[in-house]
Chains A and B, each alone.
Chain A
Amino acid sequence: DIQLTQSPSALSASVGDRVTITCRASQSIREWLAWYQQKPGKAPKLLIHRASVLESGVPSRFSGSGSGTEFSLTISSLQPDDFATYYCQHYNNFLFTFGPGTKVDIK
């Protein structure tokens, strides 16, 4: 089975900072990676699919990149609404795997 790891597991940042979160797969998954944002007490919200395709309505400060085994989610200028936990997710042949999450909080 494919395993996903995320780094860092948590980070502190300020409004306006550029933030990058990394997700690594245990083997190549081409571009089959999605990113979600989750706030406390809420369901995850899909931000990006196919590694770099922004979901409709998601602010353009979010971007995704990567392929193969290394992927990143970048927030170009962190906003107050962005403090949350972010998860990567892979799908292959009816098996979904989620990463352990990266918590972004206020410095």
Chain B
Amino acid sequence: QVQLQESGPGLVRPSETLSLTCTVSGDSITSGHYYWGWIRQSPEKGLEWLGDVHHSGTTYHNPSLKSRVTMSVDTSKNQFSLNLGSVTAADTSVYYCARHYGSDFDFWGQGILVTVSS
């Protein structure tokens, strides 16, 4: 069974960079035709896809976030990561990592609450 686990700070100061890591177990991040994604959820915006990364390093991100999102993969650790720059209070959300297979996300992490506050 594939499992994903988010990790990172729960509090980030405004204007700084939010950095999260997702550790994958039960499957290799390099196997199959999977992409690995980040989704966040807040009462104001609902569920919002942030971006996907492939083990090759190819990334796709939500255009609404412009250039604030960067993603990377560490195949040696079976992890992938998210950086979201210049955060504001509006970026306060629960952040999920998930496996993208086909046209949907079939396995999700449990989520991590990140609060942006000084």
Contact = CB atoms under 8 A, between A and B. Distances in A.
Contact of B62 (A45, A87, A91, A95): A95
Contact of B110 (A43, A87, A100): A43
Consensus secondary structure, chain B interface? strand
B47 A98 contact: yes
B93 to A, nearest CB: 13
B103 A91 contact: yes
A103 to B, nearest CB: 12
Contacts of B34: none
A55 B98 CA distance: 16
A94 B60 contact: yes
**Could you say which of A95, A96, A98, A101 has the most chain B C-beta atoms within 10 Å of its C-beta?**
A96
Counting contact residues on chain A (CB < 8 A from B), the size range is: 20 to 34
**Could you say which of B47, B60, B103, B104 has the most chain A C-beta atoms within 10 Å of its C-beta?**
B104
B36 interface: no
20 contacts: A34-B103, A34-B104, A43-B96, A43-B109, A43-B110, A43-B111, A44-B108, A45-B108, A49-B102, A49-B103, A49-B104, A50-B102, A87-B47, A89-B105, A91-B104, A94-B52, A95-B63, A96-B62, A98-B49, A101-B46
Interface of A: 32, 34, 42-46, 49-50, 55, 87, 89, 91, 94-98, 100-101
